[in-house]
Structure 1
Amino acid sequence: MKPVRDWPFSYKLVLSYLLLLLISVLTVGLFAYTNSVQTMRDKTRDNLQGTLRQIRDNIHYHTSDLERITDMLYFNQSLHSALRRYEQGWYSYETMTKTMMPTLENLLNYTSFNIGLSVYLKNDTLPELYYSDTEVNPLLGKKRYEIFHLSRIEEEGWYKTLALSGEFAENHQWRQVQNDEPYANISLLQRFDDIQQMKHIGVLRVTVQLKDLLQAVDYRNIGGSSTLTVRDAGGRVMMESAPDDAGPEGSLADTKRLLLTEPLDGLGWRLEASIPESLFDESARRVRSMTVMVCVVSVAAMTLLGMAVSGYLTRRIRRIITSLNAFRDGDLGRRITFRGNDEFAQIAAAFNKMGMNIEELIQQNYMADLQKKEAELESLQAQINPHFLYNTLSSISRLAQFGDMEKLQLLVQELAKFYRLSLNRGEIVTTVAKEVEHAKAYVAIQCIKHGTRLQVYYDIDPNALFCSTVKLILQPMIENALEHAWFGSSLGIRLVVVRRGHEVVFKVIDNGIGMSPGTIPRILDPEGPRIGYGIRNVDSRVRLHYGESFGVRIASGPGIGTCVEIVVPCRN
């Protein structure tokens, strides 16, 4: 016999494969055999936990359904308006018959449960409306509503806790109050507030039977000898479902049980499931036997198929994976080629075609997005110039009318300079230096119009002049100050340009009348009213060009002036 080192590589591969196969299958089989019980326990536990979540969701659906009833009353503006009227006689009768009673009657039909809807009101001009049958559970009959004066419960501890919570809107509480516990009922309590006037006007109460609210708590949903229990926050049993032979507190009688829990949000309770161990072991034994059989069959099958298929597939799959990894890393030019016309060749052809299509789509989307942004920038920019030109031409007309040729000549020169810088050879981006020069040309035009009443000061950082920016962002801010900031007969404006780290900050500060804090969000709101249009236009252009982290910020206060700040990235 030849030495092992002289054996053909195919023999070595087959023998090593068989050895590894036997070791792997035996290891997996032994591991599956010894761990099948735990595996099935986990799987069954997950299934049971999922069933428990479904029960929890069903209870949450019912509680949410009842909470929506109180919410509809809480946010009923017409009801609030009616309850603000404290007149007796016809007004109280009209409020009861046309508003209060129809509203409560409609809400009773919102759910299929037999519920009791009670409203306690501070408005004692309205008559009380209630039933006197207190000997039996009132919810065993039909749905009904009642109206009480709040004075009936003002000394109740549960009302004081609810009334002194200091909260408005959705402060739901599920509690057993008054005669709920002996009748096996539960009540949803909520403060009743006039949200427009922020006043406490009463209490809303929806009462429902526990068996209706917790109807999904049925041990048969779990199966076997399982027990389902609902406990409150203090551990008290609110409801339990168990087989007849489980006995009292059946969930605790058998020590060989698994306990699963789910919180019941909103109620503050928890749902417990007590499941016998036998329910897990029966399924685990079946899977354990199946595992042994599969291991034996796998040894024979993989021995025959592995030798024939392993080499063929491994080489081709490795090439596909290599190409996919390159594709994932951004090398969209990677291609695969296989001889023949089998599945691997078809995969290669589909992969190559997909790469070509993706490259074309990326290029098309990039060009379309670029063209869209350029069109939006040009459209926004074009909205600035006509308004200013109209005003300036009006000023030129007045100077010509009064024969002030010296100012007229200077105004025309500055206007020509202003539009030369505005055109910027059709480019959207300009330098900070040109933008400042453009603003100064505009200020010069305005100083001719306003004379000594307008004082403008400049604080320019030389380190920022060579950075780039979207053009026509300073002139609208100065124009806005000239239009809205006059305080008396004079106005002072300070133009600041400073480089701050990787940003360039423009500030237009005036000593005018300022504005209220509520006006600022309305100016910057793209969907808001058409006020401060020039500021909003500049903010849109900056954000469109540089991203949402840049744009316009405003600080102002009545009588102290306004500071408008524009932030753009510092790029040469």
Structure 2
Amino acid sequence: MKPKSKRDYVPFGHKLMITYCVFIIIPVLLAAYMANMIFVESAQENARENYRSMLSQVKDNINYRMDDVANVSSMLYFDTRLALHLRQSKGGYESYASMTEYVLPRIQSTLDAAHNKMHLTVFMHNETLPEIYHAYPGGNALSGMGSVYDFYHIDRLHGKPWYETFPAEQYGATMEWRQVERDAALGQISLLRRLIEPNDPFELKEIGFLRITTRISDLFESLEAGRLAEGSSMMIVDEQGVIVTSSGGTVLQPGQPLDQRSLDDYMVVEENLNRLNWKLIGLLPGDITEAATRQVTGWTILIGLLCYLIFAMAGLYISRSFARKVSKIVAVLDAFREGDFHKRIQFKGRDEFTRISLALNDMGHNIQELIEEVYLSNIRKKEAELESLQAQINPHFLYNTLSSISRLAKFGEVDRLHRMVLDLAKFYRLSLNEGRTVIPIKHELEQIEAYMSIQKTKFGDGMTVWYEIDPDIMGYETIKLILQPFVENVLEHAWYGDRINIRITGAAMEERIVFQVIDDGLGMHPDTLRQLLGPPGNVSIGYGIGNVDQRIKLHYGQQYGVHITSRLGAGTTVEITIPKRVSAGQP
């Protein structure tokens, strides 16, 4: 036994392990640290954008409710007949009739059309019209059920600052949202708008004034749904910085001024409510990404441990590198012997193993190219035979259909002729399938349905067809036009009396798909039955039947094809078997 030589150098395997530690472990840890920082920032930004999107939706909902109130004012503003009744000054019964017969019903119908509950107050310049108002519990007109209205004379607004300072009129555009009178105390807000003489849009003479009051809680109802996470909240702040209403878990309450220092622990997102000159503010807790940060940290630690495990195994790999190279060469040779020439090996360096691997790779590539060339040649030959066989079916069907169209034209049956032409166009559109021979079963069934529609136009009530198709087979493939020749054969030769019934079925059976075309027609003689699946042209009936059988066998193999059973006077059953193959593009 030879004594072990003392090593006076650092082994290559150790050097490689040190290199791994420097160039893989440390970069992985640095990358994980940077990824953690980037993820936290990204999570915060995503949370901000998500909340901004939610605020935008809440804002849209608020604008929708404000538009609802504005639409009520516009319906009254542009109502020329209402303006006429408000201007008429006959007094007495005429004024009473004007109010009761048109004005009040018009106001009520307008309020009923609105989605929001509101209190409409109309101030009239015409003092011949009576004031109509109600007493409300606590002075709050919105405390009861439904929308209400009141009519007052305009002199009740004299001296009111919100009326005296109302902006100059711009036709159809001047209106303002304000909290006037007791609105703030009652949690309400009002839309203010003039009523003008509509027949003179240039003079803009005021004939009345509208105040439409609604509850702030109704207007800003969507705030309650606007919570992105636990602890988040929303609030509405007016132009003085006072909180009008709020939702969620914030400690800030309505009526309090907004203190910016209280928002230091929150992520703040704002949206302007331009019509009110108010702000919609969303608050997100600052620690919203804490859970995600912990999760990333856990994954970072796990990945680091996996890296250490991988590098420990790398030491074993290095010590056995030569044995593994030989094993790879043997594995490639075994694969070549079994007919798998796709297997390749790659060795780094410029030693003998590298030259052997390059030679084996080149040999496998060359043999594979030769095999593929022979295989493609055979495939092209089979496809040419398939196209030749398939071409025998389409002209036969077209000839029969054109003959039927000719008969319909001869007898002047225009509607049936038109329907048959449309069905024929649909059939050939489905038949073309962009030149593909193999199609989804769904398309094959659509083709046969188009074909049967053509025949239904031809035979009317004399023909009945039923479909019993398993929906699970729709995603599989078939060669096209495997059903139509059999149905055509039934309709051409199987009539037994003046009616015939056809049933078409399709179902999956283990690794096969089986179609059946069953009729209750005349049936076939055993001699005819034996000849049907022979070479095309052996018998006068069923020209395409043997064709279909040959196409199926050519494409899928001899174990698939067509089987026919028939009894004279009892009908015929055709069974078509194909393999269960998923159609291209199906999951």
TM-score (norm 1): 0.45
TM-score (norm 2): 0.44
* Structure (1 or 2) with the larger CA radius of gyration: 2
